[in-house]
Each structure stands twice: as structure tokens, then as C-alpha cells.
Amino acid sequence: MDVGFCLRSEAAGAMRTALMSAENLQLTLKAEPSQEERALTHTKRGPEETHKAGNEDLKEMLESNKESLKLEAMKRVVGLIAKGKNASELFPAVVKNVASKNIELKKLVYVYLVRYAEEQQDLALLSISTFQRALKEPNQFIRASALRVLSSIRVPIIVPIMMLAIKEAAADMSPYVRKTSAHAIQKLYSLDPDQKEQLIEVIEKLLKDKSTLVAGSVVVAFEEVCPDRIDLIHKNYRKLCNLLVDVEEWGQVVIISMLTRYARTQFTSPWKEGASFEENNEKAFYASDSEEKSERTEAEAYVMDPDHRLLLRNTKPLLQSRNTAVVMSVAQLYWHLAPRHEVNLVTKSLVRLLRSHREVQYIVLQNIATMSIQRKGMFEPYMKSFYVRSTDATHIKTLKLEILTNLANEANISTILREFQTYVKSQDKAFAAATIQAIGRCATNISEVTDTCLNGLVLLLSNRDETVVAESVVVIKKLLQTQPTQHSEIIKHMAKLFDNITVSMARASILWLMGEYCDRVPKIAPDVLRKMAKSFTAEEDIVKLQTVNLAAKLYLTNSKQTKLLTQYILNLGKYDQSYDIRDRTRFIRQLIVPNEKSGALNKYARRILLAPKPAPVLESAFKDRDRYQLGTLSHSLNSKASGYQELSDWPAVAPDQSVRNVEVVEPVQEWAPSVGKTKKLKSDDKFYSDNEEEKAEEESESSEGSSSSSSSSSGESSSESEEQSSEESDKTSSDSGKSSSGSEETSSGSDSQQKKKKKTKKAPQKKSKTAAASSDSDENGNGPVVKDSSSSDESSSGSEDDSDSDAAAAPTTQQQKKSDRKPGPKVKSEVEVSLLDLVDFSPAPTNAPKGPVVSPSLLSDLEGLSLSNTSSTMQVTAPSFGPVKTYELLHHMTGKGLSAKYHFPRQPCLHQPGMVAVQVTLSNGSDRSLEEIHVGDRSPASLNIHCFNTIERLEPEASVTVSMGIDFSDSTQAANFQLCTKEDGFSVSIQPAVGELLMPSSLSEQDFSREQGKLLGMNETSATVAMATANASSQAVKQRVLSVANVGEVPSGQDVAHR
């Protein structure tokens, strides 16, 4: 413990000191003799041992050398934490194990650290260096968990370290680490709100992230840290909408609710004037109409912002989610944002949720209750789903009752009342009472049944159960008040029951009725008063008050009979224990009994006491809940929860919608070049948006499928297909390229392909060539196209689908230039990028094809190439390439003189067919020569890199170009490796652009379109190519496309569709 003590004095300062003391600590402990055996005997002791002794024992185990003992001890410590017992005194012993090799032990130490670090801040600092080291680990999982723990340690002194770590992690290659950093932002913010500005910067950066993994988490951080910075969302709005389907379900909930808020500030109201007027019959009105049609009718008055529409369309499929929270959040989105007639879409899904767990039902019913007040029509067809079951919990029953009452109208009231009759008989008396109130509400709301209800309630007065009777009395009182004319019979009946009723509220109600309508029951009222005078002292306060009231009213109307009684009661009241009653008595006496002191009031006593009173309005308890956003905690509690964000009203005029136009997409290494959407393009975008969006979704969905399926097949079949493909290519080469092997498999083409074909028109078949790539995919027969012809161990679409949305824009650009003549074909051109790998290409100018050297599977490729050259139909030749883009790998400042640049030569890799060739130019910027430059550790470990040979010596100012092969496994995941010199190692990473992963091959347009059909949506990747609309030549388009992707061109008979 003294070690800990001395630490406390010094550790507060710099990290270095802490580190050193940690070493000291360890040293001292090692000096101690091992306590293993003793610890072993300790473990066998019973758990009934005293707490203190147990901890001693644990301490010894933790300090032992044996891993298993430590683990055992940690497990017990975690057990203590779980039970809520204090284990903080073990902190010094536990924290030493933070660097343990055993991953489970380490995790348990993390658990402990997070729990107690706040209490033992100084000691917690000991562990920081371990995390800092772990943050540099190549294993992304370790990096992420280090960040998680580091940010969970609530020690204010490490805020700068956390800030640094978050910033670094936000730029990490692994989306998982970036996700963790988004979580860490919130933790840091709650620890130190002063960091807000810096954190917002990180959030801004992460919001741009295209990974679905990150999207949810960063929006959570946004909501927590800066929910008012709506401007950060503008640029990312469309991306978020498009990604939504693929985001994990919890992220969906958060994003949807954020977008709801966003949309309310950015779009104008889709609820046109008078919408509420037609609400009731609108269901029937629109029922037969299609959605589009009703939209059109509305369009004259109001045009929905396409972004608004985008949000609605992209959230709709989520109604089918298995996650109830997602369904609810979509429902609330529609409720708050959709045009009135579209809200009905959500009804079914909400009703479905009623089959879920009880707690889910509770929340959903609450929301339905609120909805059903405003929109009866929405839930009326599902009325029977709200029938109460005997097994429901009471709060569920009450909510269902509430909804049934809201749904009641002239048409269904008889059914509902019959149902209510059963409920009244329920053994659950609280529920029966609630039913009676519900009947009362129905009676006031629907005048046709008021009499029936009243009669029914009167019958209930003879019920055996007194809560039922009492409730009936109260409800009858309210009903009578609304129409007091002809009901003296009921009042008489109630007076008769008065003796038997013991519930004070009911007694008070009867007394009040007597007083109010004493002129209708002139004989009975004084008698009731007489009875009350006898029992006055034994009554409840509320009954006493009403007795005083009754006495006063009778005194005014019938003073002859009741004068004495009244005085008696007033005297009793004067000496009552409750000051309320004394007060009231005094007031009444002054008011009604004339004496010399009483002033003007006396004259008005009659008018005061017997004024006609307005009937109470029986309303739903959910009437005012609509001020809260549906689905929120505040709505559920009907009070504002902390952190609740008000939903703003629709703006009268929509703010500038161009703010959502994405102008700059890419960070430097991202493959998509910048998108400059011009105003004109924008309008075009709107025009097509329907198609595109759907398309994009399809793409992303099926790309999931393809990627996984290809990886699944790869295990078993890759070798097979390799063989086949090489066979195939042999065959085709002998065929002199006239027959297409793909054609046999055409049968597998789907409808969509045919559709495509139709759009393509009859393209002249100038040539038919087989590409190894296509044959390969055909062998699989099911349409998964393995991108690289020879092998693909794994293909993951990674971030590919991210750019889908942008993809939509690219073809549009092209089209537009073609003077909008044919809006049809655009769909097709969009697929282009996915197919580009099947298209022939011309080699980069730097390198001539080295046909004979390459592996057999490539042969066919080159075969195609040469053929295309001879047939001279190829329009794309070498010059059509844009300048080769060079990326920086290592800057000479960070690399101590060594700098490296790389580019993709776009030629088949010589080392291994599956690899992508990368040319790295190494140059020595320092003044001394560098030795032994080679490639060191790489990550992910599975990454297959063909390294260049070690460069023995690199003289100052010299540079050398080496080529490497990297198997990116068809993903855009960066390849991280170390570039080592003799003295140093530098971590570098190569981020492949999707376009560079593609393997070009040639085929005819016919083949192309067939493959396209098969491929549809599988491996699609796209990007938007920025281009001034002015230079609308087809050449220019080609050039731009080529500059980003390693592709060739299919000769097309149709100049509109560029491929």
C-alpha cells in the first residue's frame, strides 16, 4: 500500500513519472516471494469467509505469477462487482495486470478499471501507457478496445490524451475503430464539456464517413454533443438516407429520429390546409386511389421537396424490421412528416407490434392512443385488435380501453358497447371502473347512445361491487350535468341507493346532484340532508364539503324545511378538524345567513350558488400528449424528459435546399473525384430520383448477396473455377474469338436483364469475344461474378455501396449532355462501372503487355486484347487514358528522408494473377544513403502482398521504382504494411480505389449487356465524375471514366449509353 501512497503524491503529473513508478511497482512485487501455494489453499476456502479476508486472499492471487490464478481471482473480483460489493481496495493489485498477455484476463481487468478508475484516479493513470501502446496495434480489435477503455476511464487529467486518441481513431482505416471513436466522443464530452468545439470537428469529419458501421454511432454523438448544429447534417443528408437500410438496427433508430427533427426544420409542411377537414372520410376517399394519384392531385398546391420524398421512401422498408424500436421510429417519422394520406401506411406495422412483448405493447399502445385521437380512420379497421384479453396486464387493458373509446363512432358504437359490457364484469375491478368511465366518454361524445349508456349505468348502480357502483355514480353525475332536463327519476333512484354506497367520491357526487337539482326532487333532498346531518361527523372530508354545499343550496331554495338542519350542519362544520371545512363553513354562513354585517354578497348568494354550471367535457387522457414527439420517453411519461428535443414547426418557407447538394466528396485517397453538381444537374437529379434511389438500394442489397456468395463459393470452388476458366480460355483462344462461351449460360439471365436489353435497342454485334472473367462467373452459374478472372478468396463490397448514390449522378451527367433525348437508357448506363471489369482495356502507356509471361488465366484476357486490336473496332486506345494518378505513400519528412509514392499501372500483376499491380517509387530525400529497404509487417494479416526485393542501397537524391502485387481481395480495405529501412520502420498504407481493382476484359456489346443483366446490382460500384457540362463530347466522358477506373470501352451502337 505504501507504493500506492507514494505514487499518489507524484503520479498526478506527467505520464512519464507514472510509467516509471509502474515499473517500480512491478519490480518491488517481483522481489517478493511467490505466494502461489498459499494462494492455492486460499481459493479452497468457503465463500462464507468475511469480506475483508476474501479480498486479502484475492490480492495474493492477483500478485501471483500464475496466469490461471490471476484469472480465477479476476473472475471472483468481477463477481464482486456484479453483486455491487466494493472491491476498490484491490485496485493496485488489479491494475498491474492490465498489460497481461491473456486476453480474457485483460478484458476482466478492463471491466474492473472502468468501474473503479473514477474512484482511484491516480492509480488509474498507471494503465494509460498500456492503452496508448495498444492504440498503435495492428489488430483493429485491440485498437478499438483500447480506445473503448481509455475513453471510459473518467479521469479528467487524461482529457488531452483522450482527445488525441479520438482524433487519431477517427481517421483510422478500420470502420470499427472509427465507430468506437464516435462512442468515445460522447464519453469525453460528458467528462469535459469544454472540449465541445474540438469534438464537433471530429463529429463533422465522422459524419462524412461512408461506412454503415459508423453512421449510427456518429449520429448518436451528434445528438448528444451538438444536436443544434443542424448545418452539419445538410451535406450528409442524402447519404444518410441512402445508407439507412444497411445501417445496423440501433443506428437506424437514432438516425431516423434525428432526420425527423431535421426534416421539420428544412421542408415545408405537406399537410395542406383543410386536411383535417377531410380527415374522417379520407380513408375511403383514397382507398382505391393509388398513392401516386393522390399525390398528383395534391401536387397542384404543394410540391414535395425531393429530399423529403427520399427520406419517406427510404424509411418505408424499415417498417418491416424485426426491431420494434425501428418500426416505431419509422411510424413516428411518417406521423410527423408524411402527407396525411400516407400516414396510414404505418398502421399495419404498429398493429403487428401488439403481438410482441408486454412492455412493447405498452409503449406502442400509448402511441396509438395519441394517434387515434387525431386520426380515427387510421386504426378503425383494426378495432378488434384492441379488444382486451383476460391475460393482459392492467395497464395494457386500460390503454386498449382508451383506444377503443377514441375509435368509437356512430357506426361501431354498438359493438364497442357490447364489448364494454363484458369488461364491466371483469374481476379486475380497477379495469371495470375504467370501463365505466370509458362508457361515460362514449355517451358524451356520441349523442345517439347517451340514453342507452345512461340506462346501462343506472343498471350498474345495483351492482354488488361498490367500486363499480361508485364509478357509475360519478359518471352518471357527469352525464346528467350535460342534459339535466328529464332525469329526476335517476336522481331519485340514486338517492335511494345513497345509504348503501360507502365510497366517498360517489356519496359526494350524489350529494352534489341533489343540491344542484334540488328543485326537481323537492321532497327527497331535505330528507337526504337530514340523514347527512346525523352522520356528518363520520364522513370523509369531501362528503362533508358537499353536505355543506347541499345545505346551503337547500337553505336558499327551501329554507322553511331546512333552516334548522342547515344551521346544525354549519355548527358542526365550524368545529371540524379540517380547516378546509371550517373555512368553507364560515364562508357559506356569511354568504347565506343574513345578518347586519354581511354586505352586498348576501344578495347575490342565490346567483352564486345556483349558477348554471357548464357540463364537464370528458376527454381522453392522451389529448395533450401530441405536444411531444411520438415514440419518445417524454411522450410515454407525458412530461418533458431531460434532453428532450422539441420538434420544431414546419417552416413557412423552405430554407435553401441547395445546401444539401454534395459538392466535395472525397478525401484525397478516396476514389471518387469531386462531384460538381451544377444547378441544372440538380433539377435533373430530381427528375430521375425515383429510379435512381430504388436502383441504389437494389444495388446495395444485392451487392451484399454477391459479395458473400462469392466468398462462400470461393472456399471450395475457386480452384475448380480456376481450372475451368483456364480451360475455357484455351478453348476460346482457339476459337479465334468468334464464339462466346458465355452464350450457353444465357438461360440464367433474369428478367431484369431482358429489360436491360430492350433498352439497349438492337445493338450491332460487332464482335464477340470471351473474357476469362465472364466465363469464370458463368461457371458458377448463379451470377456471382468474381471480379478477378482467376481467383478471389474473398470479396467484400466493403464501402463500395457507399458510393452508389453518387453513382446515380454520373450517368445522369452523361445523359444530360446528350440533350435529354432518351430518358430511358440512363438506367443502363449506371451499371457501367460494375461491368467495366469485363471490358477490354488498353494498357497504360508505360508498360507494353507482356503476354507470354503471365499466368494462364490471364492469357485469355490478353488474347481478347490482341483480338480487339486486330479487329480495330476498339475505340479506346492508349491515349484515351487520363494521366496516371500518383498517390503519396510516405512523405520524406515522416520517413526520415525516405519518401514513397505509388500508382496503379493498370496492368496485370506479374506475380500472381489475383493481385493488383502497384508501382512504388522510392526516393531518398535525405543526405545519406538508405540501406535495406524492404517491406515489414503487414495488416490485416491475411493480406497477401508480393513484396519487392530488398533494395540494398539507395543513394541520396536517387530514386528507384519497384513493383509490388497486392491482393486486395476485391475490397477497398487499405493494405497496411511497414516500409522498413535498416534503422527504421514506417507504417504505410495503400488505399485502393475501386476502379483499380477491376480487371478489364473485352466482350461485345451483346455479351456485355447479357453479363450486365446477370451482374445487375452485384458488384456495382460507382462514382460521380465531375465534368463541366460544356465539354460534352463523348471522348471527354470516356477520359474521365478511365481516369478513375481501370476499364475499357464496349463499342456501342448507341451513342447515348457510354460504358
* Residues 748-777 interacting with another protein (rule: CB under 8 A): none
The reply on whether position 716 binds another protein by CB under 8 A is yes
Residues 165-224 that bind another protein (CB under 8 A): 174-176, 179-180, 183-184, 186-187, 190, 212-213, 216-217, 220
CB of 584 to another protein, least distance (A): 32
Stretch that binds another protein, among 272-280, 639-647, 726-734, 857-865 (CB under 8 A): 639-647
Residue among 348 and 603 whose Cβ is closer to another protein: 348
CB of 711 to another protein, least distance (A): 6
The reply on whether position 342 binds another protein by CB under 8 A is no
Peptide bond into 940 cis (omega under 30): yes
The one-letter code for the residue type at 158 is I
Q: From the list 387, 568, 687, 887, which residue makes contact with another protein (rule: CB under 8 A)?
A: 387
Residue among 676 and 940 whose Cβ is closer to another protein: 940
Spatial contact of 100 and 112, defined as CB atoms under 8 Å apart: no
Stretch that binds another protein, among 600-608, 611-619, 690-698, 1044-1052 (CB under 8 A): 690-698
For 895-914, the DSSP string reads: TTTEEEEEE---SB-SS-TT
Where helices occur in 229-305 by DSSP H, the ranges are 231-234, 237-243, 249-266, 279-287, 291-299
The CA distance from 1052 to 1037, in Å, is 14
Residue among 530 and 758 whose Cβ is closer to another protein: 758
Q: From the list 633, 951, 980, 1036, which residue makes contact with another protein (rule: CB under 8 A)?
A: 633
CB of 137 to another protein, least distance (A): 11
Q: State whether the Cα torsion 337-341-346-347 is positive or negative.
A: positive
Q: From the list 24, 281, 414, 422, which residue makes contact with another protein (rule: CB under 8 A)?
A: 422
CB of 28 to another protein, least distance (A): 27
Q: From the list 22, 69, 108, 867, which residue makes contact with another protein (rule: CB under 8 A)?
A: 108
Spatial contact of 373 and 406, defined as CB atoms under 8 Å apart: yes
CB of 714 to another protein, least distance (A): 8
If 0-12 CB within 10 Å is exposed, 13-18 middle and 19+ buried, where does residue 269 land? middle
Residues 464-523 that bind another protein (CB under 8 A): 464-465
For 924-937, the DSSP string reads: E-SSS-EEEEEEEE
The reply on whether position 312 binds another protein by CB under 8 A is no
The reply on whether position 724 binds another protein by CB under 8 A is no
Stretch that binds another protein, among 41-49, 362-370, 520-528, 856-864 (CB under 8 A): 362-370
Residue among 140 and 557 whose Cβ is closer to another protein: 140
Stretch that binds another protein, among 233-241, 326-334, 574-582, 594-602 (CB under 8 A): 326-334
Report the side by side order of strands in the sheet with 944-946. 886-890, 898-903, 916-924, 959-967, 944-946
Q: From the list 632, 972, 1002, 1009, which residue makes contact with another protein (rule: CB under 8 A)?
A: 632
The reply on whether position 717 binds another protein by CB under 8 A is yes
Residue among 350 and 543 whose Cβ is closer to another protein: 350
**Grid coordinates 465522422 are at which residue?**
206
Residues 393-412 that bind another protein (CB under 8 A): 393-395
Residue among 641 and 664 whose Cβ is closer to another protein: 641
Residues 6+ apart with CB under 8 A from 541: 578, 580, 581
Residues 954-1013 that bind another protein (CB under 8 A): none
Residue among 302 and 644 whose Cβ is closer to another protein: 644
The reply on whether position 358 binds another protein by CB under 8 A is yes
For 477-502, the DSSP string reads: HHHHHHS-TT-HHHHHHHHHHGGG--
DSSP code for 924: E
CB of 849 to another protein, least distance (A): 34
Residue among 391 and 872 whose Cβ is closer to another protein: 391
The CA distance from 776 to 788, in Å, is 9
DSSP code for 641: P
Q: From the list 173, 232, 275, 360, which residue makes contact with another protein (rule: CB under 8 A)?
A: 360
The reply on whether position 707 binds another protein by CB under 8 A is yes
Residues 18-77 that bind another protein (CB under 8 A): 67-68, 71, 75
The reply on whether position 324 binds another protein by CB under 8 A is yes
Residues 117-176 that bind another protein (CB under 8 A): 118, 139-142, 144, 148, 151-152, 154, 174-176
Residues in a beta bridge with 930: 954
Spatial contact of 1020 and 706, defined as CB atoms under 8 Å apart: no
CB of 956 to another protein, least distance (A): 42
Tell me which long-range contacts 441-445 makes (C-beta under 8 A, separation of at least 24). Answer: 441/405, 441/618, 441/619, 441/620, 442/405, 442/408, 442/413, 442/416, 442/417, 443/479, 444/478, 444/479, 444/482, 444/617, 444/618, 445/408, 445/618
DSSP code for 989: E
Residues in a beta bridge with 372: none
Residues 6+ apart with CB under 8 A from 464: none
Select from 814, 806, 836 the least CA-distant residue to 692: 806
Question: Which value, in Å, is the radius of gyration of the alpha carbons in the chain?
Answer: 40
Residues 428-467 that bind another protein (CB under 8 A): 463-465
Spatial contact of 513 and 496, defined as CB atoms under 8 Å apart: no
Give the three-class secondary structure for 517: coil
The reply on whether position 562 binds another protein by CB under 8 A is no
Q: How many CB atoms lie within 10 A of CB 574?
A: 12
The enclosing H or E element of 432 equals helix 429-445
CB of 721 to another protein, least distance (A): 10
Q: From the list 43, 198, 268, 323, which residue makes contact with another protein (rule: CB under 8 A)?
A: 323
DSSP code for 918: E
Residues 811-870 that bind another protein (CB under 8 A): none
Residue among 154 and 682 whose Cβ is closer to another protein: 154
Spatial contact of 664 and 674, defined as CB atoms under 8 Å apart: yes
Residues 249-288 that bind another protein (CB under 8 A): 249-250, 253, 257
CA dihedral 93, 99, 103, 109 (to 10 degrees): 30
CB of 374 to another protein, least distance (A): 20
Binding footprint of another protein, residue count (CB under 8 A): 127
The reply on whether position 801 binds another protein by CB under 8 A is yes
The CA distance from 120 to 131, in Å, is 17
Select from 314, 206, 208, 308 the least CA-distant residue to 252: 314
